[in-house]
Amino acid sequence: MGPTSASATAGCWAARRSRSMPFSRKDLPPQAPLVDAHVHLRDRKGINDLASAGIAAARDAGTRENAGQDQLRRQRGPGDPILVWSGWALCKPGGYGSRIGLPVDGVDAIRREVRRLKAAGADIIKVIASGIVSLKHPGVITAGGFTGNELTLIVGEAAEQGLGVMAHANGEDAILACVHAGVRSLEHGFFMTRQAADVMADRGTFWVPTVGALARAAQAEGVSQEAKDFVSHRVKEQVAMIGYARSIGVPLAVGTDCVLPDQNYAAAYDAELEYYAQAELSGDAVRDIACQGGAKLLGLV
């Protein structure tokens, strides 16, 4: 759930950038089928937030085991967004991910949980392939993640069940391990490098950068000025890498990493669009990423 431990509690606050007219949903055609490829739904009110923001489809990117998400999907009514569900994430014991996932260790445990997720109705497998961006120790990624061989096993077992894999990963090593293992999408991807992006382009791996998640986390109470300065720099680097990734053909999708319900969700989605605009992408390119990019990632087109 997000690149930092604070993102779950910081809400979907979305600061407007320096430009006087920031890019937003209002700059897209009416009724554009917007997709949010990375949210965390708590209850029916979260679906209402998506619908109110004009979101046509969303991917729930991890909940704790037995959180009732399948029941939540059955509550969808006419006009509600399409929901794609990952179920509980798979994480390593002792590392990041236990809040939204189940620790698994060893071949048998991995295979068992992938099959359990399939039986529970998961549309995709979520794997925690790294730790999070630390705000207590700026520049550090916390402990967590699977080995390359374990990731390959997860991807292979998921494929046998007819499922793809979405991977939470930060740092070049974790990103490359995920891409080489064959994940469908890379979530967050802070500390992305050109080398990693090049490999993603070659493999056709989707990237969901969730820039706003880190920016929001820096606004949480108690975050040091050093951490805020670090985040400001890291956000600029992430935006620059979005521009590079788009230029070389990395498929992109918009994801807010918001925990819903949240009264500021619509503003958070607008803020995420603005980051793509800051990457010097055209309005048509932003629309393509927000609509077609997300729809392709979710398997809707």
Distance CA(196)–CA(191), nearest Å, equals 10
Report the C-alpha gap between 143 and 290 in whole angstroms.
Answer: 32
Lowest mean pLDDT segment, chosen from 2-16, 116-130, 133-147: 2-16
Cα three-residue angle 170-120-103, rounded to 5 degrees = 40
| Total tally of structural domains belonging to the chain | 1
> Is the pLDDT confidence value at 82 over 60?
yes
Residue 76 binned pLDDT confidence (cut-offs 50, 70, 90): confident
Tell me, what's the pLDDT at 6?
Answer: 46
> What pLDDT score was predicted for residue 15?
38
- What's the average model confidence in pLDDT over 92-120? 94
- Given a cut of 70, whether residue 3 has pLDDT beyond it is no
pLDDT of 67 strictly over 80: no
Does the pLDDT of residue 77 top 90, yes or no? no
**CATH number for 255:** 3.20.20.140
What is the average pLDDT across 177-199? Answer: 99
Q: Is residue 41 one of the residues assigned to a domain?
A: yes
**What domain range is 70 assigned to?**
25-297
61 in any annotated domain: yes
Residue 76 lies in a domain: yes
Task: Indicate the range of 29-38, 48-57, 130-139, 180-189 predicted with least confidence.
Answer: 29-38
Q: 142-147 long-range contacts, Cβ below 8 Å, gap at least 24? A: 142/5, 142/95, 142/96, 143/94, 143/95, 143/96, 144/91, 144/92, 144/95, 144/96, 144/97, 145/92, 145/95, 145/96, 145/169, 145/174, 145/177, 146/92, 146/177, 147/177
Task: Report the 3 state secondary structure along the chain.
Answer: CCCCCCCCCCCCCCCCCCCCCCCCHHHCCCCCCEEEEEEEECCHHHHHHHHHCCEEEEEECCCCCCCCHHHHHHCCCCCCCEEEECCCEEECCCCCCCCCEEECCCHHHHHHHHHHHHHHCCCEEEEECCCCECCCCCCCECCCCCCHHHHHHHHHHHHHCCCEEEEEECCHHHHHHHHHHCCCEEEECCCCCHHHHHHHHHHCCEEECCHHHHHHHCCCCCCCHHHHHHHHHHHHHHHHHHHHHHHHCCCECCCCCEEECCCCHHHHHHHHHHHHHHCCCCHHHHHHHHHHHHHHHCCCC
Rounded distance between C-alpha atoms, residue 239 and residue 211, angstroms: 8
Q: Specify if 47 maps to a domain.
A: yes
pTM for the full predicted model: 0.91
Of the listed ranges 77-86, 177-186, 237-246, the one predicted with least confidence: 77-86
Cβ-based neighbours of 273, under 8 Å, separated by 6 or more: 23, 24, 25, 27, 28, 254, 286, 290
Could you tell me if residue 4 is inside a domain? no
pLDDT band, very low/low/confident/very high, at 210 (cuts 50, 70, 90): very high
User: What is the per-residue pLDDT for 201?
Assistant: 99
Q: Does residue 262 belong to any structural domain of this protein?
A: yes
Instruction: Check residue 2 and give its pLDDT.
Output: 67
Determine the average pLDDT of the residues in 149-173: 99
pLDDT digits (tens, 9 = 90+) for 6-42: 443 345 533 333 444 588 888 787 778 999 999 999 9
> Taking a C-beta distance cutoff of 8 angstroms, is the pair 25, 270 a contact?
yes
What percentage of residues in the chain have a pLDDT greater than 70? 91
Whether 18 maps to a domain, the answer reads no
Instruction: Please determine, for residue 213, whether its predicted confidence score (pLDDT) is greater than 50.
Output: yes
Note whether residue 17 is domain-resident. no
Mean confidence (pLDDT) of the chain? 91
- pLDDT at position 68 is 65
User: Among the listed ranges 1-5, 184-188, 231-235, 237-241, which one has the minimum average pLDDT value?
Assistant: 1-5
- Mean pLDDT value of segment 151-173: 99
Q: Check residue 1 and give its pLDDT.
A: 62
